[in-house]
Amino acid sequence: MEEMKAKQEISSLREELNKYNHAYYVLDRPSVSDAIYDQKMQRLTELEAQFPQFITSDSPTQRVGGEPLDAFVKVQHQVPMLSLSNAFSENDLRDFDRRVKDGLDVEHVTYVCELKIDGLAVSLRYDNGIFTQGATRGDGTTGEDITSNLRTIKSIPLRINETETIEVRGEAFMPQQSFLVLNEAKEENGEEPFANPRNAAAGSLRQLDPKIAAKRNLDIFLYAVGQWESGTLTAHSERLHHLSALGFKTNPEWKKCSSIDEVIEYVNEWVTKRADLPYEIDGIVIKVDQLAYQEQLGTTAKSPRWAIAYKFPAVEAVTKLYDIELSVGRTGVVTPTALLEPVKVAGTTVQRASLHNEDLIHEKDIRVNDTVVIKKAGDIIPEVVRVVTDERDGTEQQYRMPSQCPACSSELVRLEEEVALRCINPNCPAQVKEGLIHFVSRNAMNIDGLGEKVIEQLFEANLVKSIADIYQLKRDELLPLERMGEKSVNNLLQAIEASKSNSLEKLLFGLGIRFVGSKAAKTLAMHFETMDHLAASSYDDLVAVNEIGDKMADSIVRYFGEEKVQQLVHELRNLNLNMTYLGPKPNVEELVDSPFYEKTIVLTGKMERLTRSEAKERIESLGGKITGSVSKKTSLVIAGEDAGSKLDKANDLGITIWSEQELIDTLKEIDEE
């Protein structure tokens, strides 16, 4: 290639990649797919290697990560947090192995392979065993102090058994289930959803208010030591074991490999197994195990010579978008969905992909009849990545969101600070139907046999138009419906009748008050005890309750101020629905003597005589706290039949273990006192 053409292409690639980096690292809004970014970066790297005279300090190949945000105090890393060079094929890995052996002048090297977690790289500093500072990688030399946000991640120990200063490094991330729950809540509230778990984690840790980060259910895996005053270990694998021994959470899937062939075997294994993980990975990190070898190999300006990241190929597919469908959620948010010609993506057939909101459609210039590239965001949610504009033939049509609700024809509005359009008609049939489905769901009134399809049948037959209608259904109305035999109808009517006796928190959650989830509903029910007391509470009364914030309090006051809500509550009371909290209400004075008071307890295995929820409710009513994982902070493990790894870990840590019978005997003694 001629020098002038090379200079022009390098300049163009540099400008594009810097723009992509800014969108990804600073704004937390990726503007292109990983596949396009990797392709352009690889091309720039090749050109700069061929024409080194055109390398400049602002080239993305010469930097490690994103710029630190001005909103946070800047932190200077004592040891730079370097990024890794990438491998995209088996040949790239073998070239890496050859370079390592040539650099060391040896014939055999041991490697450690680790899953490459797709999150946010952070450092944690401990002085005299106390967690004192947490920071992002930033540009590798200067990061952002996010100590307050990192402290909200429960898997980060606030104290470790180490008297010397130690700085450890890892990847903070958002588990896939947390990502799905967060985005569902965002869309329901008319907010723009996160593109993937990585950006959700980064966005959470860059919040100025740590309360927001605390609600996001983030996690972390530690994988390296940055600074350690007198570390005596000789291998990276030994460091991983030591990190775990100190109480840090490390990923259990790492493996020590005695050859590059073993490395490649490990990589190929995880290309297929990655879909089974509850968190997202985007590759495999390969490191030379011996620390002396690492020191001998050294680093370049941006990456270590003793490590490399194998990047998984992006799983994308091309298909036709033939229409855009609108749906109305229970809170009135109108969500556009792309209807696609069926296409295989990451092992499943995709025919629909959420387009989230009108702004995204315009930003990506998505049109009906476009040829589009599809991928699964976080390997979970089908997403339109981009339009293949070269395939346009003139038949494509620009899409405009309607001004009226597709379900009830009411005027759509965009509320302040929301990206979504919303139907605010409380009688909108789509909202009513979604509200009914929510009301009968398991975490709400839990009416067995009254699932989504049955609700749709009842709704279409005009038998159910409000919550109160459910409790006025008659046998003769139900029998003519599809798949409604005598036995099914009897069971359904019994389940509806039984639900009238549910404790208040079930009814509160079922009503679908905005911002009130199942946990908040229980908190409110326990505090106010009756529906009347809650309905009559003021904003000040509500915010005085632990865990009830401004938005929720305002929403509750507005909800019970509506005349139609007052009428509904009156109607449900006349239909004999319980309006009182029936669960145990803790008495702090009595709880102090409880064997569970302020204890952290884990339930594991099958319970034969108590259900898991029954055991949890009794223990919590006696001042105990139930958690899902065993750690040094666990006070007690209650093990049922077939208890597995949690029981093993409890034994290793010397934690007290009870059988189910011991729990039942203790509860019986308490009841008899």
Q: What residues are annotated to the active site?
A: 116
Distance CA 447, CA 449 (A): 6
Sheet of 111-117: strand order equals: 86-87, 307-311, 281-288, 111-117, 255-257
Residue 219 vs residues 273, 475, 646: alpha-carbon distances, Å: 21, 50, 18
Residue at 311: amino acid letter: K
Question: Token digits for 416?
Answer: 């302040």
> In residues, how long is the chain?
673
171 with 251: CB under 8 angstroms?
Answer: no
- Sequence-ordered list of residues with C-beta below 8 angstroms from that of 279, at least 6 positions apart, any chain: 117, 118, 173, 174, 175, 176, 197, 219
Rg (CA), the chain: 29
Question: Token digits for 264?
Answer: 């490649």
Distance CA 571, CA 562 (A): 14
Q: Which residues pair with 222 in a beta bridge?
A: 170
SS3 state of residue 256: strand
187 with 360: CB under 8 angstroms?
Answer: no
Cβ neighbours, 10 Å, residue 586: 15
Helix/strand/coil (H/E/C) assignment for every residue in 628-648: CCCCCCCCEEEECECCCHHHH
- Residue tagged 């309607």 (tokens): 402
Q: Residues 294, 300, 305, 306: is their CA dihedral positive or negative?
A: positive
Crossing angle of helices 550-561/563-574, nearest 10°? 70
Distance CA 329, CA 434 (A): 6
